């Protein structure tokens, strides 16, 4: 077998394929969640549609792509993947908010003082830190069910927390439509991100062998 017929753990072509795959799936995830929210909000003004799309796509790409690359290089290392999620969550939250404002969102309508921006950033760090750890263990099983159960379980826990904070700790009670749309956002993203990570696992498992120091795998395997 020639040297050119094998991949290396830092092969730019291999890493580029993983990143591109994760980015495209993440974009579709962000758009899908936005479509679901728009279906619910069909009777409401849609002036914030473009900023919302920008926020959700940016968030999805940064978090899921970061975790996808981390899942590839840190296979079977849940704590390392958890650290990746711990960093990716709040960073993606801040960048997505900046993208939303740059696309024309005023930030006044539909926002509530509780939870604050800092609390949400901390929540994202905890949520996706735990997400990374649990996905690391799910990756050892390698089946789709393990990934989806992880995403759905964490999504449900943090959806309940987020909606409880909004509904019970603000002076003005938010409308039901606000709770529904935020609930959709909170629940679907971890599930979709778990699916993206499972999709990229096939390539990730091959690179994991290199990271672990095992024999190289043919590029056409």
Other beta carbons less than 10 A from residue 82's beta carbon: 21
Q: What is the mean pLDDT of the chain?
A: 77
**Higher model confidence: residue 164 or residue 55?**
164
- Provide the residue range defining the domain that includes 39: 12-211
Q: How far apart (Å, rounded) are the C-alpha atoms in residues 207 and 75? A: 8
Q: Is residue 135 included in any domain, yes or no?
A: yes
Q: Read off the pLDDT band of 41 (50, 70, 90).
A: low
Q: Is residue 17 included in any domain, yes or no?
A: yes
Q: How far apart (Å, rounded) are the C-alpha atoms in residues 132 and 34? A: 24
Q: Which residues are CB-contacts of 106 (< 8 A; sequence separation ≥ 6)? A: none
Q: Is residue 105 included in any domain, yes or no?
A: yes
How many helices and strands (H and E) does the chain possess?
A: 6, 0
pTM equals 0.76
Inter-residue contact 135 to 79 (CB < 8 Å): no
Q: Is residue 99 included in any domain, yes or no?
A: yes
Q: How far apart (Å, rounded) are the C-alpha atoms in residues 215 and 213? A: 7
Q: How confident is the model over 101-139, as pLDDT tens digits?
A: 775 555 444 467 889 989 999 999 999 999 999 999 998
What Å distances lie between residue 205 and 9, 72, 128, 213, 215, CA to CA?
11, 7, 21, 13, 13
Q: Is residue 145 included in any domain, yes or no?
A: yes
DSSP sequence for 145-213: HHHHHHHHHHHHHHHHHHHHHHHHSSSSPPPHHHHHHHHHHHHHHHHHHHHHHHHHHHHHHHHHHHHTT
Name the domain count of the chain: 1
Q: How confident is the model over 167-178, as pLDDT tens digits?
A: 999 988 888 888
Give the N- to C-terminal CA distance of the chain in Å, as an integer: 13
């Amino acid at each position: 077998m020639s040297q050119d017929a094998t991949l290396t753990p830092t092969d730019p072509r291999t890493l580029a394929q993983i990143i591109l795959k994760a980015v495209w799936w993440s974009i579709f995830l962000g758009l899908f969640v936005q479509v679901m929210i728009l279906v619910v909000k069909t009777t409401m003004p849609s002036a914030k549609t473009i900023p919302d799309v920008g926020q959700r796509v940016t968030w999805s790409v940064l978090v899921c792509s970061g975790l996808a690359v981390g899942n590839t290089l840190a296979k079977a290392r849940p704590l390392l993947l958890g650290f990746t999620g711990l960093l990716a969550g709040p960073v993606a939250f801040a960048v997505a908010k900046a993208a939303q404002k740059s696309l024309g969102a005023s930030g006044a309508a539909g926002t509530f003082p509780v939870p604050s921006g800092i609390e949400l950033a901390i929540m994202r760090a905890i949520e996706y830190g735990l997400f990374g750890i649990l996905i690391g263990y799910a990756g050892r099983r390698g089946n789709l069910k393990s990934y989806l159960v992880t995403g759905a379980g964490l999504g449900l826990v943090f959806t309940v927390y987020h909606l409880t904070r909004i509904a019970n700790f603000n002076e003005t009670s938010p409308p039901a439509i606000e709770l529904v749309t935020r609930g959709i956002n909170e629940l679907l993203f971890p599930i979709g991100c778990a699916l993206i990570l499972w999709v990229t696992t096939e390539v990730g498992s091959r690179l994991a062998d290199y990271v672990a120091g095992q024999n190289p795998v043919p590029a056409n395997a």
